[in-house]
Chain A
């Protein structure tokens, strides 16, 4: 018979007295005890049937110091069960949700696979399960907790380095540790209020950029991994990290949003910009409200590109057929939902414009629709800035200039795409040149200003000198060419369209190129 030691007895009355004392589940990861054995990793895989290539929890290792004063520091790395969980806010369908007892859980049946939660999570703790294509992460083994069992990692740990408990119960071991010991959380500056507390963790592991990324695609006994869309942890070579901290073990990480999201910002920009540019021409009197550019061609281009946008967005979903859930169970804090309704509204305006205005010959309808159409087009252009900003993990995207920049890009694209129609050419050339000029100024401002955080700084480094530098500089040069639109006319169209496409790809991808875990 095993010796059983019972510590502080849990009293359920603490929970239920008056109903106001709710359990608040927290975990303690005690790095002073962790021996880096990875038992939690495999126990979790076993319990939760997690496939190869992805993990809900793993043990990061960082070597600090110089011989013989060296230490290998461990960090059990996983979902932080945030009180203010960015993934919950970003999820369009409520698939990521916070239970009343604080556990951030997920419902795979309604996950559409948009990866917004992954883009939002400042801890890179969420992944798409390759077997069922839905997002998942550590959920405290909520199915076990509900059955009165400790999570699998807690039970397996040879050294009792993982504890679960109720912070509202003063007799619990977690409360004793959290309240009395030296604990910390990962990235508190993200204001997520994590409920996973680290005892005796070091900056070298907590800060994803504190340790140097090893050369040669290696860790101490594994490969860094040649996975698609890879983001390797650690600070890249030459980055201002502590030379004496070396990332010794990590798992392969992937950026959530690939070229499809880059491309979607472009098609959507064209769609919004074509309508807006035509509307500006009409408002300014450069073309009449009856001009075929306004009445037919601009909205046709806009609707076509909007349809392409929708197609790309759906193609980017892991569960494309669940796309309607965005409308059927909208989670209103999600900018993906808000954006979907904006796009839907904009699409409706465009359809009515074309059916009533162009086909039905009603100039007045088209004209007065612009009262709704212009703000909806502008919102279509700009909402992506809020969608990106909701990706709380991505510091590069937290820019107050992003909404106007998105508008500028839309105008640039819209002007460029309308120019070949030969209506209002002179004014379109100036719109194009002006938008290109504004775009170049905004981009230069972006890369020359001091960045508020190390993550933003590193993202800009990836943008200008890293993996996406060719896209970025190519885009910038082409945009500079497009400034000359008033002089070169239609010759600016190609460079302008390509400029934004390249820039958006560089911007979207380098925003995700910063390691978070």
Chain B
């Protein structure tokens, strides 16, 4: 073929696409090459393969289920073999816009993983012995449903607990629990983002930020959002776009992340000092008068602050500004330098950059310092203070609250919430905890605070992911504490080994979910679907159960929960079944088609019209395109006037809060919102009066941005009622001379906790987690070189790991990524052979020893690639050696560890882990002493401020503390 013909062939594709009136998706290169086949051809796309052959595919969208970003995927389903050939991005997805990180394409590995669990399994012998038998779904479901039914009949609803890792969906399972009437939702959030959430929640009443990176002039990240975090790929796209436009990037991270690499200013502070630095920047803005006075005056609850804290002073804005200056005057750059080790000069420069952003400042913290430190929630608060000072809130280029950029469509029936309080998830010592005190579960069970009869772990691996895993093993193997443990998981994990049932659940391309995440100033709904089911339906087949198309007997959760619910309440006597009963065919189960069909028809504005324009049903549209953008450019909702219709018998309360008797209009978007208290006459808060206008305001008690949290002041934390710097548990003064801070939470761009170990392409890239050590420390510790074994001693034990000597970390700090160190006990048959070491577990009383027996090695399987495994190391499981560190306010587990690092001793072997769970119990008790229990602090005899967000929020009277209630 000559050059002319070749060029002509390449050019013809676009020409023909346009001539046919089909969609040409321009790629980043902006040439005549498309990035994706035209959507009009997604039913039957003939693709040329690398070997020149042609195959015919159905292109079916779904959603990645690796991290929380929920990026769109497009499955290429071979129309002949009906198998997935590959996953690409979905150009119709407004969040990810057709692009993915490494984990997107690697979804294919997870689907074809030879080690995945294909059939329901039941334990044989003792828990954790490693012997399993295959059972039918019917047997498993009947057994589990029978136990739940008994618990419900015997009025023990809280004996049922559902413990979820990454939900990856909005609301379905919470609705199941609500229907059952159990307060049994338990999450992973307090080991993840509660610290960050708390800081935002105290400010806005909403617990997540939505930075508008794409339009920002300055982006300030206390995290590594170019490579990880919420929402890695969607945010990275927009951050890099902004940088290309000339936006400045400031990154706070003690370790050199890929994100820090791109920063115009990389600040690598002493861990725990982040709030001090941020407050010094805030102080500079105030001192130099660069704050947005109008915004502060209109939107901060300064009047409430003055009234509560300075009732004797003039109640004027000028007085507030003066006090504000005073309040932060101690946070000088020099002070921040002493705390953080970052030079005052650099901080001044950064402060000037921040000041220059004006309202175009996008900031973000999610885990990082907020998840690492005692008081870490104040990092998020101090960070948002910068936005609040500059008025960079809910405006273009600023930071929005998540709820405005999220759309959770209302389901057909919303059950009421449970009428009892679960003490195992919401203990009274933590009245302000943002989420369930999940990681304390073993300790709370050991306290004798309750037992669990049926415990679901759902794509969650607490033995491995949580701190103090040996205490988890101790409690999960004690059948007097946990009656029946059901692990819902696609793959083997350290927790599933201790289950009674292991039930295989589908991967991202094998299940239904809907979800919506705040990734830019807009709202979208994404749809995850079993792609083989959708492909078969396109080919004219009728699939009524996802198991028909999934590998083995792998199911999906939606159908599983519906089926289980029906078995719990087969005759409807418990009043539960009805929530999952077909409306079209009463007496029959609701199908997923009906459930989502209803939602897309009734609860997603604009979708029915968009679908009709293409001659599709709303469900058909979502099955075809996988996502729908509900709104774009939501803008500052707080500035919107409250419509007259909502102001029936309105009353203006303290500091301008406006209340109404008009009932809350039914909105299709049921995104969780807090519930500020009604006024004394029972009117609900509806807005706030600002300069004589009644505006929507914020869902906080005051209706404004709460610089000052009266809730915190009244619930025992007056000293932290405004954003201040709280000293971390790893503050240098706490460490002592021989300890260093271990940063144990950093993520790698290609892995995601225990979820991605079943992807060979990802394991090949990243499979170990040496301890990052600065050369100065390496020298001080006796000339440690990369690859040498070191012993890292925590409060409760130690682990032995290899050293990685690098300039990419602050001297005096060590870091170890938490993705690695997967293991399977000797004798277990199942396991992730490409990513799990085989270990021995020895126990003497409370003393545990885990030793590595073998690393990974090539093996024969249905996938020839497993014979090509070239790595043997899988890292070390450091979390086992961490005791629990619950923050007394946010409830967040404070991850940073004060550790002693030294050269390994003779006899130490790589991967050795030694822990004394009696010591971990002592640490738990010590941290319990930091708490200020509701019993001592509650101003109104309740367990928790009612207005705060809470999953499955029970009715208000359930909030009363037990003694008070009687």
A: residues with CB less than 8 A from B are 1-8, 10, 12, 15-16, 19, 22-23, 33, 35-39, 41-43, 45-49, 51-53, 58, 63, 65-68, 70-74, 99-101, 108, 130-131, 141, 143-150, 152, 154-166, 169, 172-174, 214-218, 220-223, 225-227, 244, 246, 248, 252
Contacts and interface: CB of A to CB of B under 8 A. Distances in A.
B7 A7 contact: no
Contacts of A108: 51
B13 interface: yes
B91 A101 contact: no
Contact of A52 (B8, B50, B865): B865
B227 interface: yes
A149 B806 contact: no
Contacts of B91: 2
A308 to B, nearest CB: 32
A341 B226 CA distance: 56
A359 B30 CA distance: 73
Secondary structure at chain A's binding surface: helix, strand, loop or mixed? loop
A29 to B, nearest CB: 12
Contact of A51 (B805, B811, B865, B871): B865
Interface string B223-258: 000110000110011001001100000000000101
B7 A150 contact: no
Given A149-B33, A150-B29, 9 more contacts: A39-B104, A42-B750, A73-B261, A148-B13, A154-B28, A161-B240, A173-B30, A214-B786, A222-B768
B92 A39 contact: no
Contacts of A8: 30
Given A46-B108, A67-B809, A155 B49 contact: no
Contact of A42 (B1, B266, B761, B868): B761
Given A47-B50, A156-B105, A36 B785 contact: no
Given A35-B227, A71-B261, A223-B872, A216 B785 contact: yes
B63 interface: no
B102 A150 contact: no
A146 B54 CA distance: 13
Interface string B759-778: 01110111111101010000
20 contacts: A6-B26, A23-B3, A23-B7, A37-B236, A42-B103, A43-B105, A46-B761, A67-B811, A70-B256, A100-B3, A101-B7, A145-B33, A155-B88, A156-B104, A158-B233, A160-B28, A163-B29, A218-B787, A220-B770, A222-B768
A28 to B, nearest CB: 9
Interface in B66-87: 86-87
B1 A100 contact: yes
Nearest to A66: B807
A217 B237 contact: no
Contacts of A16: 4, 7-8, 11
A41 B869 contact: no
Nearest to B257: A72
B871 A225 contact: yes
A63 B7 contact: no
B102 A41 contact: yes
Contacts, number: 309
Nearest to A53: B868
A317 B742 CA distance: 51
A27 B832 CA distance: 38
Contacts of B786: 214-216, 218
Contacts of A74: 258, 261
B99 to A, nearest CB: 5
A41 to B, nearest CB: 6
B808 interface: yes
Contacts of B871: 222-223, 225
A164 B26 CA distance: 12
A173 to B, nearest CB: 5
When A and B form their complex, which 8 residue pairs have the shortest distance between CB atoms, in order from nearest?
A216-B787, A148-B13, A7-B30, A160-B28, A100-B3, A46-B105, A159-B240, A150-B27
A220 B806 contact: yes
Contacts of A160: 28, 237, 240
Contact of A4 (B26, B342, B788): B26
Given A39-B100, A72-B256, A52 B760 contact: yes
Contacts of B244: 33
A153 B762 CA distance: 16
A68 B767 contact: no
Contact of B29 (A2, A148, A165): A165
B99 A157 contact: yes
Interface stretch (B34-42, B351-359, B541-549, B591-599): B34-42
B34 A150 contact: yes
B345 to A, nearest CB: 13
Contacts of A22: 3, 7
B757 to A, nearest CB: 14
A412 B34 CA distance: 62
Interface in B5-38: 6-15, 17, 25-37
B217 interface: no
B62 to A, nearest CB: 15
A63 B99 contact: no
A146 B48 contact: yes
B118 interface: no
A51 B94 contact: no
A109 B558 CA distance: 48
Contacts of B802: 216, 218
Interface in B185-201: none
B807 A154 contact: no
B748 interface: yes
Contacts of A43: 88, 100, 102, 104-105
A148 B33 contact: yes
B258 A35 contact: yes
B767 A38 contact: no
Contacts of B766: 221-222
B149 interface: no
Contacts of A174: 29
A2 B632 CA distance: 11
A407 to B, nearest CB: 41
A169 B30 CA distance: 12
Contacts of B31: 10, 150, 164-166, 169, 172-173
B767 A221 contact: yes
Contact of A149 (B13, B103, B104, B256): B13
Given A15-B11, A46-B105, A100-B3, A35 B749 contact: yes
Contact of A130 (B233, B262, B868): B868
Contacts of B260: 72
Contacts of B266: 68
Contacts of B99: 39, 155-158
B553 interface: no
Contacts of A73: 261
Interface in B478-496: none
B323 to A, nearest CB: 35
B817 interface: yes
A89 to B, nearest CB: 21
Given A39-B101, A147-B48, A154 B35 contact: yes
A158 B237 contact: yes
A158 B807 CA distance: 28
Contacts of A48: 50
B804 interface: yes
A291 to B, nearest CB: 56
A406 B809 CA distance: 52
Which among A68, A157, A226 has the highest number of chain B CB atoms within 10 Å? Answer: A68
Given A63-B808, A220-B806, A158 B101 contact: yes
B89 A1 contact: no
A225 B29 contact: no
Contacts of A51: 864-865, 868
Contacts of A161: 240
B629 interface: yes
B37 A2 contact: no
A156 B50 CA distance: 17
Contact of B105 (A45, A58, A65, A173): A45
